């Protein structure tokens, strides 16, 4: 399958937010040409981009996709009641079949928001993998081991298995969080990470309570604790990273750990504002995630991008804080690097064809004063005209091409939540 | 023209966020039926809503529409440089023709976001009025008198003229701000407001600097000053209302003044977070505006609604703060009341047909756990399927019906900003 995009503005993300005009060719799963001529190739599909932007797909660097079933299920509640009385009892009723359909629903939404990959921490791995492959979507799994499920032995098996299962799927070491995982389990995982020289990702310093309780238990912040047992010797990072001490920041800086920020979720759950400007100043790589739809409630990289910069402007009391160009890099390039998708980070020959087309022929993009910054400040799902993953168009002009009708997926999701409420 | 909407979920906003199923009929500019049967009427157009939501259009209760030309023109700059070096010199080059086309561009964006009316404070009034009428859009004008333009005599003439010009147009007394208007002018305006028994709207307490300087000049906050000269004797309110003292809040409460919040703009310009929860507790009516596209940069009620509640949750450190149901009321009902659009506030027989259809057949709305709250927490422009103003469908399934092709309007806007940069 060879696809030609022409009449495009190309934001490769290899050169800041500079944009070139021209065309881009895809052969099978790869970008094979970026330049100004059609050449003498023949194509299976030719797309007139009408001046729209082609750019690397957004990477959702932290999520729990299948939590779609709890979207708007229990809003405006305090965190503890939400989590313990509403979320956990429902999650106990999940089956692989349910996770499969709920993941497919989340993937549809990713496509509408120009996300071409997700970093998914959830249960029933096999079902997640099937949902992703059947949709044609790229998923990087992160293990969610904790005291209530999973083991380091299983994680190593899963690591080897799922990194070999399909070009769309890869696997990271990870665990849920310090507050749900025994020190013994964490030490075992650190042993694996050091033996295999692998990065580890985990929820880290999402709430002040989490940090305070960790200090009470161990006399150390979560980051200090993990570092002290060698968990971060080969990199990785933290999801959320809202409440980080000076020493935590030094550890992240020195070990080049990724801070994956989730401002939508941190806002809705009143967790706080992560010190992103500080991370940027220290050279800590920041990526962006939506977190799960139960706590956000939407899976929308445009919302997240505006919040990343907007909340910094508010907390720093400085309209210059956290330039939109940096935010765009977080959403495309840094996310890919956190997820070790080194061939999905920018648009360049030889890279994977994970590409989105941003519709500029919409009122919120006009006039064309600064296109890249406007994507961050004014963009919305309405501007996502096409989403291509691994060389295949999965979403085009409002239609999905994911091997299943969206109506079927919606119906499944509604049936699942109804059944679960009655069980 | 008679229109029938059927197979609808109807969120009338007359009964909290409860939703009824049924149909809604429009005759000319009015809602003539809400219920369960087609009856024996014949219709010019019948719309199968396929289970989607019909609800009152959103009211953009504070904006400067024609500032579309400065969208993403000067982002990530400190407020003073942004305003004095970038915005003001460009605004000086505006002509009525330019304001006309730039307003038409803003109106297109309002329609994509389900806004059916705006409360517009800008210059070249005649051009704004023409743009609104030609588009079929509802505009409530607010006078922007200040030391550099306008007068109270002119305002009274404009008040009488524009409240009679067209059913789509109405006019409020107003002035730009305390910091741009002499005490003498403000006193003259207060005289007019008292003589005609009319409410007055004005930028009020947007930044801490504004409040501090007013106290330095007059020994009073802006709200105290305005109240002391009788400006608010017949109601009205403030745009922004971020930095309000206890006494200011008492004045707003006792005089039933509207606090019009603009969280997108306050975030992007680092102005701060308005104490919305406090206003709700005091019974102060809160409405929502986008502010102008130069400072936001998009005109998107979904972004604003999420920010209204999200920023309260953050600043109150409470995930329960500012319930989504309250926010939806602000966006539809309170906005209408602030703008004195008493016949556009809810869906009921006899009210104006300012109606939007929210597409639930999109992944971000599924499953249907709590539709109204999900509109606030997960909704986006992509969910706006139809926007009807005064009984006419101006936006339907991505197409505009505003008497001019959007491409022409985009081209005009781009030409205007290019010309202005070269002048």
Residues B354 and B243 in one domain: no
Across residues A359-365, what is the average pLDDT?
98
At B40 the pLDDT is 87
- Of the pLDDT bands very low, low, confident and very high (cuts 50, 70, 90), residue B263 is very high
Residues of A in contact with B302 (CB under 8 A): 380
- pLDDT tens across B265-299, in order? 999 999 999 999 999 999 999 999 999 998 889 99
| Coil, strand or helix at A198 | coil
| CATH, residue A368 | 2.30.40.10
- List the single residue in A109, A309, A374 with the smallest CB-CB distance to B364: A109
- The helix or strand, by DSSP H or E, that contains position A101, with its residue range, turns out to be helix A96-112
How close A202 gets to chain B, by Cα (Å)? 23
Which residue in A77, A319, A406 is closest to B320 by CB distance? A77
Angle formed at CA B137 by CA B274 and CA A380, multiple of 5 degrees? 55
ipTM of the complex: 0.97
Closest approach of A267 to chain B, Cα-based (Å): 5
Verify that B103 and B245 share a domain, yes or no.
yes
Residue A172 forms beta bridges with which residues?
A142
B74 — pLDDT class (breaks 50, 70, 90): confident
Q: Are residues B32 and B99 in the same domain?
A: no
Give the model's pLDDT for residue A80.
73
Report the residue from B272, B380, B414 with minimal CB separation from A367. Answer: B414
Residue B352 distance to chain A (closest CA, Å): 26
Residue of B nearest to A274 (CA): B314
User: What are the CA-CA distances from residue B411 to residues A23, A238, B396, B401 (Å)?
Assistant: 23, 46, 22, 18
Radius of gyration of chain A (CA): 21
Residue A422 counted as domain residue: no
Q: What band does B82 get if pLDDT is binned at 50, 70 and 90?
A: confident
Cis peptide leading into residue A187 (ω within 30°): no
Tell me whether residues A367 and B69 touch, CB distance under 8 A. yes
Which residues on A lie below 8 Å from B66 (Cβ)? none
**What percent of chain B has a predicted confidence (pLDDT) above 90?**
94
**Cα-based distances in Å from A165 to A29, A171, A423, B124, B373:** 17, 10, 34, 64, 40
Distance in angstroms (rounded) separating the CA atoms of residues A13 and A354? 13
Task: Give the pLDDT band (50/70/90) at residue A184.
Answer: very high
pLDDT at A75: 78
Structural contact between residues B372 and B360, judged by C-beta atoms closer than 8 angstroms: no
Pairwise CB contact (< 8 Å): B417 & A367 = yes
C-alpha to C-alpha distances, B183 to B177, B189, B202, B237, nearest whole angstrom: 11, 10, 14, 18
pLDDT recorded at residue A100: 98
Q: How far is C-alpha A270 from the chain's CA centre?
A: 21
Res A85: pLDDT? 85
- Minimal Cβ distance to A319: which of B70, B269, B307: B269
Please list every residue in chain A whose beta carbon sits closer than 8 Å to the beta carbon of residue B310.
Answer: 264, 267-268, 307
Please tell me the distance in Å from B297's CA to the nearest CA on chain A.
5
Residue contact A298–B380, C-beta within 8 A = yes
Cα angle vertex B303, ends B351, B335, to 5°?
30
Closest CA to B29 of B392, B333, B395, B339: B392
Q: Mutation test of the interface with chain A: which of B75, B264, B301, choosing the one with the most A Cβ atoms within 10 A? A: B75
Nearest residue in B to A263, CA atom: B310
Position A131 scores a pLDDT of 98
The token duo for A30 is 């790869």
- Partner-chain contact B366 A323, CB within 8 Å: no
CB contact under 8 A, B77 and A319: yes
pLDDT band, residue A218 (cuts 50/70/90): very high
What is the average per-residue pLDDT within A208-225?
A: 97
Most B CBs within 10 A among A305, A363, A396, A411, hence the mutation to make, goes to A363
Which residues of B are less than 8 Å from A85 in CB distance?
A: none
What percent of chain A is predicted at pLDDT more than 70? Answer: 100
In this prediction, residue B85 has a pLDDT band, given cuts at 50, 70 and 90, of: confident
3-class SS at A199?
coil
Mean pLDDT of chain B, nearest integer: 96
In this structure, are A191 and A49 located in the same domain? no
A108: chain B residues, CB-CB within 8 Å: 363
- The mean pLDDT value for A13-38 works out to 97
Classify residue A308: in a domain, yes or no. Answer: yes
Q: Is B161 exposed, middle or buried (0-12, 13-18, 19+ CB in 10 A)?
A: middle
Provide the 3-class DSSP secondary structure of residue A394.
Answer: strand
CB-based contacts of A175: which residues, under 8 Å, 6+ apart? A143, A144, A145, A146, A150, A181, A185, A186, A189, A200, A202
Contact B109, B417 (CB under 8 A): no
Sequence-distant (6+) residues with CB within 8 A of B263 are: B273, B274, B288, B304, B307, B308, B311
Q: How far is A175 from chain B (nearest CA, A)?
A: 26
Peptide bond between residue A6 and the one before it cis (omega within 30 degrees of 0): no
What is the pLDDT averaged over residues B42-66?
98
How far is the C-alpha of B135 from the C-alpha of B129, rounded, in Å? Answer: 10
Q: Among residues A318, A338, A358, which one ends one of the domains?
A: A338
Is A270 within 8 Å of B317 when comparing Cβ atoms? yes
Range of the domain at A213: 58-338
CB contact under 8 A, A366 and B414: yes
Question: Across the interface, do B369 and A72 touch by the CB < 8 Å criterion?
Answer: yes
> Which secondary structure element, helix H or strand E, spans residue B5, and what is its range?
strand B2-10
Alpha carbon of A164: minimum distance to chain B alpha carbons (Å): 30
- What does the pLDDT look like over A78-93, one tens digit per residue? 767 777 888 889 999 9
Interchain pair B76, A323: CB under 8 A = yes
Q: What is the mean pLDDT of residues A340-347?
A: 98
Q: Are B242 and B363 part of one and the same domain?
A: no
Is residue B77 helix, strand or coil?
coil
Task: Please calculate the CA angle A163-A164-A170 and round it to the nearest 5 degrees.
Answer: 25
Q: Would residue B421 count as lying in a domain?
A: no
CB contact under 8 Å between B299 and A69, yes or no, is no
pLDDT for B318 equals 93
**Domains in chain B, number:** 2
Are B112 and A320 within 8 A, CB to CB? no
Residue A283, C-beta contacts closer than 8 angstroms, at least 6 positions apart: A253
For residue B234, the SS3 value is coil
pLDDT tier at B256 (50, 70, 90 boundaries)? Answer: very high
Q: Under an 8 A CB cutoff, do A73 and B370 touch?
A: yes
Q: Is the pLDDT of residue A384 over 80?
A: yes
What residues contact A296, with CB distance under 8 A and at least 6 apart? A264, A265, A268, A290, B377, B378
Peptide bond into B367 cis (omega under 30): yes
Q: Say which residue, B3 or A83, is predicted with more confidence.
A: B3
Contact B366 A77 (CB under 8 A): no
Residues B137 and B8 in one domain: no
Residue B191 has pLDDT above 90, yes or no: yes
Distance (Å) of CA A94 to CA A35, A72, A90, A326, B60: 49, 18, 7, 38, 42
Dist CA A84 CA A65 (whole Å): 19
Cα B115 to the center of its chain, rounded Å: 8
d(Cα B39, Cα B33) in Å, to the nearest integer? 10
B406 in a structural domain? no
Could you give the CA distance from residue B214 to residue B229 in angstroms, rounded to a whole number? 14
Do A22 and A146 fall within a single domain?
no
Q: Give the pLDDT confidence score for residue A86 in this predicted structure.
A: 84
User: Chain A contacts of B298, Cβ < 8 Å?
Assistant: 364, 377-380
Q: At what angle do helices B301-316 and B371-378 cross, to 10 degrees?
A: 90
CA B301, CA B308: separation in Å to the nearest integer?
10
Test B366 with A413 for CB contact under 8 angstroms.
yes
Which of B68, B267, B370 is nearest residue A313 as measured by Cβ atoms? B267
Which of B303, B311, B319 shows the shortest C-beta gap to A269?
A: B319
Place of tokens 């989504």: B324
Cβ contacts (< 8 Å) between A209 and chain B: which residues?
none
Residue A183 counted as domain residue = yes
Contact criterion met (CB below 8 Å) for B358 and B5: no
Give me the residue from A298, A316, A320 closest to B377, CB to CB. Answer: A298
By Cβ distance, the residue of A78, A309, A366 closest to B320 is A78
Q: Which helix (H) or strand (E) holds B378?
A: helix B371-378
B144 shares a domain with B49: no
Residues A298 and B380 sit within 8 Å (Cβ to Cβ): yes
Q: How confident is the model at residue A237 (pLDDT cuts 50, 70, 90)?
A: very high
Q: What is the pLDDT of residue A78?
A: 72
Interface test with A, best of B262, B296, B319 (most A CBs within 10 A): B319
Q: Are residues B129 and B222 in the same domain?
A: yes
Which of B270, B370, B380 is closest, CB to CB, to A75?
B370
B213-247 tens-digit pLDDT: 999 999 999 999 999 999 999 999 999 999 999 99
- Which of A75, A137, A209, A271 should we substitute to test contact with B (largest number of B Cβ atoms within 10 Å)? A75
Q: Using CA atoms, how far apart are residues B285 and B257, in angstroms rounded to an integer?
A: 7
CATH code: domain of residue A121? 3.20.20.140
Closest chain A CA to residue B325: A76
Same domain assignment for residues A297 and A328: yes
Domain boundary among B320, B338, B356: B338
* Alpha-carbon dihedral A207, A209, A211, A216, rounded to 10 degrees: -170
Q: Using an 8 Å Cβ cutoff, are A354 and A389 in contact?
A: yes
- Cβ contacts below 8 Å, chain A against chain B, sum to 225
Q: Does residue A418 lie within any of the structural domains?
A: no
* Residue A257: per-residue pLDDT: 98
Q: Token pair 């977190």 is at which residue?
A: A291
How many angstroms away from the CA of A414 is the closest CA of chain B?
A: 5
Same domain for A107 and A145, yes or no, is: yes
Tell whether the model's pLDDT for residue B150 goes beyond 80.
yes
Count CB neighbours of B116 within 10 A: 29
To the nearest whole Å, the CA of B277 is away from the closest chain A CA by 13
CA distance A234 to A228: 13
The string of pLDDT tens digits covering residues A31-49 is 999 999 999 889 999 999 9
N-to-C CA span, chain A:
47
Q: Quick check: A367 and B407 CB within 8 A?
A: no
Evaluate if residue B41 carries a pLDDT over 90. Answer: no
User: What pLDDT does A81 receive?
Assistant: 78
Position B124 scores a pLDDT of 96
Position A182 in a domain: yes
Q: How does pLDDT run across A101-128, given as a tens digit for each residue?
A: 999 999 999 999 999 999 999 999 999 9
Q: SS3 of B314, please?
A: helix
Of A305, A151, A173, A316, the closest CA to residue A237 belongs to: A173
CB contact under 8 A, B72 and A298: no
Q: What does the DSSP 8-state code read for residue A244?
A: -
Residues of B in contact with A377 (CB under 8 A): 72, 75, 268, 296-298
Average pLDDT, rounded, for chain A: 96
CA distance A268 to chain B (A): 5
Question: What's the pLDDT tens digit per position in B300-339?
Answer: 999 999 999 999 999 999 999 999 999 999 999 999 999 9
Record: contact B364-A296, CB cut-off 8 A: no
Per-residue pLDDT at A295: 86
DSSP string, A307-366: HHHHHHHHHHT-TTSS-HHHHHHIIIIIHHHHTT-TTSSS--TTSB--EEEE--SSGGG-
**B422 belongs to a structural domain:** no
Q: Degrees (nearest 5) of the Cα angle B111, B117, B122? A: 105
The residue among B317, B338, B359 that closes a domain is B338
Distance in Å, alpha carbon of B33 to nearest chain A alpha carbon: 30
Residue B80 — pLDDT band, cuts 50, 70, 90? Answer: confident
CA distance B372 to chain A (A): 9
B263 and B349 assigned to the same domain: no
Per-residue pLDDT tens over the stretch A296-312: 899 999 999 999 999 99
**Taking 90 as the threshold, does the pLDDT of residue A76 lie above it?**
no
């Amino acid at each position: 399958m060879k696809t030609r995009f022409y009449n495009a503005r190309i934001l490769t993300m290899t050169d800041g937010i500079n944009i070139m005009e021209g065309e881009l060719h895809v052969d099978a799963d790869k970008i094979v040409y970026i330049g100004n001529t059609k050449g003498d190739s023949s194509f299976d599909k030719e797309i007139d981009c009408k001046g729209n932007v082609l750019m690397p797909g957004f990477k959702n660097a932290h999520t729990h996709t299948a939590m779609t079933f709890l979207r708007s299920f229990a809003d405006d509640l305090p965190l503890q009641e939400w989590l313990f009385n509403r979320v956990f009892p429902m999650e106990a009723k999940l089956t692989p079949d349910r996770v499969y359909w709920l993941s497919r629903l989340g993937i549809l939404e990713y496509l509408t928001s120009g996300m071409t990959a997700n970093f998914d921490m959830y249960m029933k791995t096999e079902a997640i993998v099937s949902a992703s492959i059947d949709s044609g979507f790229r998923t990087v799994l992160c293990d969610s081991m904790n005291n209530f499920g999973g083991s380091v032995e299983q994680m190593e098996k899963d690591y080897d298995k799922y990194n070999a299962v399909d070009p769309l799927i890869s696997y990271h070491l990870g665990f849920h969080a310090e507050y749900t995982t025994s020190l013994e389990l964490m030490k075992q995982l650190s042993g694996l990470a050091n033996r295999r020289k692998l990065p580890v990702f985990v929820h880290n310093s999402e709430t002040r309570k989490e940090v305070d309780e960790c200090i009470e238990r161990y006399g150390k912040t979560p980051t200090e604790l993990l570092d002290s047992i060698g968990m971060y010797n080969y990199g990785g990072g933290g999801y959320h990273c809202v409440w980080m001490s000076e020493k935590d920041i030094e550890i992240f800086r020195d070990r080049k750990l990724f801070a994956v920020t989730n401002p939508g979720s941190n806002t809705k759950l009143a967790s706080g504002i992560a010190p992103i400007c500080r991370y940027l100043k220290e050279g800590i790589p920041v990526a962006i995630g939506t977190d799960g739809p139960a706590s956000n409630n939407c899976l929308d990289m445009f919302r997240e991008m505006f919040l990343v910069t907007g909340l910094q402007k508010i907390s720093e009391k400085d309209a210059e804080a956290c330039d939109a160009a940096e935010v765009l890099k977080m959403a495309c390039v840094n996310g890919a690097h956190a997820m070790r998708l080194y061939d999905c980070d920018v648009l360049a020959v030889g890279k994977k064809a994970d590409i989105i087309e941003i519709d500029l022929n919409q009122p919120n993009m006009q006039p064309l004063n600064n296109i890249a910054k406007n994507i961050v400040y004014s963009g919305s799902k309405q501007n996502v005209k096409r989403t291509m993953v691994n060389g295949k168009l999965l979403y085009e002009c409002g239609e999905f091409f994911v091997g299943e009708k969206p109506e079927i997926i919606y119906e499944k999701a509604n049936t699942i939540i109804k059944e679960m409420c009655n069980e």
